Structure 1
């Protein structure tokens, strides 16, 4: 992957005004996500709150973006996120805090997030949008994630809990033990929570990103 191409992820919490504890909850979840995703080398810099309930990060591992996004959504439950991703150049030296950096990738991510919030991409609601200089890529990945988000918006709290545990350790028995339920319940929640469709999106989208920018 060319080192000059980065992905900026900018996200905010949907309907944050309806929750009194959103700032405290977001802070705890971002600290945990930063520790985990830095350790796994999925991000280059810790997540940084830019304003209110909005935060961002930077990664150079573009093919791992779909897996990062799924883990981010699962890890932030019960908070639901709007997410914009910009793929392009960064103008500054890569160093924290991420919200002090500038460049094409940041501009594209901001536009993508605005498209999500303004419903500017499709006639149906989406939670995720990508932006790059490659318009055929943008059209395909945004359609894929538009359909993906239609499923995501239907996942219940219990199903997200099962998905989160399974992402941490992808085996039914350990997930069932941690959730204190039987294996059949975990299996059912994964299926009804569209986990296998989400996992296939991660696989296919990751390969598509790698073919496009690799």
Structure 2
């Protein structure tokens, strides 16, 4: 099972963004137990889909406004309807991970049994760092490609040449970061399944 704990960065100097993020995550990612505010500027949800968990974590970390902790492991069953009432290894590990994420340049950390968590953390931190450093122009081109457009069609939409689109994708390491994220998502799914169980 996967528990994700998210904490708003510099919340004392910014408006409270928790409720808006809770609504967005629950609508977009269909968690097993819905994201909800757990305390102050923190929220938490439970997922059983490793691919969705990786996509969500990179999405949230990519805003630069949140610290994201992913805990992978067993949970106490039956799971209560409310996320904040849950307990077990994955919940404890998510708490550990989000505390480390607060001191990570990528604002993302993974905790779980064995060495797989460290490898996944390194991969996701690398992708998150690349995403954060990508220029707006490169990100815009990449999102058009991700939506299914060809480079020629993306160029027409942006008013630039196909070669310019290719250059923006290359400078933003778009294909490489997407490939690594996809590999990490598959590994997260297998890791979650292997570590899931009653606690």
Deviations 1:131-163 (A, max 9, x none): 1112x2122112222322331331345655666
Could you list the runs of 5+ residues in structure 1 that have no partner in the other structure?
A: 1-5, 120-124
How far residue 7 of structure 1 moved from its aligned partner, in angstroms, is: 0.2
Structure 2 SS opposite 1:9: strand
Q: Specify whether residues 73 and 140 from structure 1 end up closer, same or farther in structure 2 by C-alpha distance, changes over 3 A only.
A: closer
Aligned to 2:110: 130
CA–CA separation in structure 1 for the residues paired with 2:8 and 2:165:
27
1:49 equivalent in structure 2: 37
Query: How many residues matched?
Result: 189
1:109 aligns with 2:94: yes
> Which structure carries more relative contact order (alpha carbon 8 Å, separation 6+)?
2
Does the Cα contact within 8 Å between 1:66 and 1:201 map onto a contact in 2? no
CA shift for structure 1 position 100? 1.7
Q: How does 1:26-105 map to 2 (within 5 A)?
A: 26-38=18-30, 43-73=31-61, 77=63, 80-105=65-90
2-side partners of 1:199 and 1:31: how far apart? 26
CA RMSD in angstroms comes to 3.1
What is the Cα deviation at residue 196 of structure 1? 2.2
TM-score, normalised relative to structure 2: 0.75
- Against the structure 1 CA distance between its residues 36 and 63, is the aligned structure 2 distance closer, same or farther, given a 3 Å change threshold? closer
Contact 1:33/1:72 (8 A) holds in 2: no
